[in-house]
């Protein structure tokens, strides 16, 4: 695993006007905030197997079944800024690795995204990214 601050720092350094923090439990009332610059929340949500259907309690077999750390990047922004904000955040994390010795093997990659909530003015977006955790460093 890696500390969420790695991803927070990547997004902050690429987008210095954004507020970027550790994620906390969702509060639907956030959608009604007055948003000047995007508010971004980063948090790990779990780990899954690359091939969950191939679970076998065999240490040698498990070496071929990587663990993937699942992390959410949620952000609140004006609807008119959604495309630009998403592109800026994705550009900050794509092809980055929290494991410098394994950067050829593991980097942060996009998995899926969806709207959490929206109003006529704001949109609350959730991006899910994954990182294959190296077995040997």
* CATH number of the structural domain spanning residue 76: 3.30.2000.10
More confident residue, 36 or 87: 87
The residue-averaged pLDDT of 117-124 equals 94
pLDDT digits (tens, 9 = 90+) for 13-22: 999 999 999 9
The residue-averaged pLDDT of 110-122 equals 95
Residue 56 placed within a domain: yes
Residue 137 placed within a domain: no
Q: What is the Cα–Cα distance from 101 to 48, expressed in whole angstroms? A: 22
Structural domain harbouring 69: 5-132
Residue 105 placed within a domain: yes
Q: What is the Cα–Cα distance from 82 to 41, expressed in whole angstroms? A: 15
Q: What is the Cα–Cα distance from 9 to 59, expressed in whole angstroms? A: 35
> Measuring CA to CA, which residue among 112, 110, 104 is closest to residue 7?
110
Of the candidate ranges 22-26, 30-34, 36-40, 51-55, the one whose mean pLDDT is the lowest: 51-55
8 Å CB contact between 50 and 103: no
pLDDT digits (tens, 9 = 90+) for 48-104: 876 655 555 555 555 555 788 999 999 999 999 999 999 999 999 998 999 877 666
Residue 44 placed within a domain: yes
What's the domain count of the chain?
1
């Amino acid at each position: 695993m890696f500390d969420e601050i790695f991803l927070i720092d990547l997004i902050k350094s690429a987008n210095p006007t954004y507020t970027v923090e550790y994620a906390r439990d969702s509060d639907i009332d956030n959608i009604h905030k007055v948003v000047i610059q995007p508010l971004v929340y980063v948090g790990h949500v779990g780990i899954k197997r690359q091939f969950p259907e191939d679970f076998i309690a065999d240490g040698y077999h498990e070496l071929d079944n990587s663990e993937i750390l699942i992390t959410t990047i949620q952000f609140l922004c004006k609807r008119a800024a959604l495309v630009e904000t998403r592109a800026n955040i994705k550009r900050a994390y794509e092809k980055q690795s929290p494991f410098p010795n394994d950067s050829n093997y593991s980097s942060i990659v996009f998995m899926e995204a969806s709207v959490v909530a929206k109003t006529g003015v704001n949109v609350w977006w959730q991006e899910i990214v994954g990182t294959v955790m190296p077995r040997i460093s």
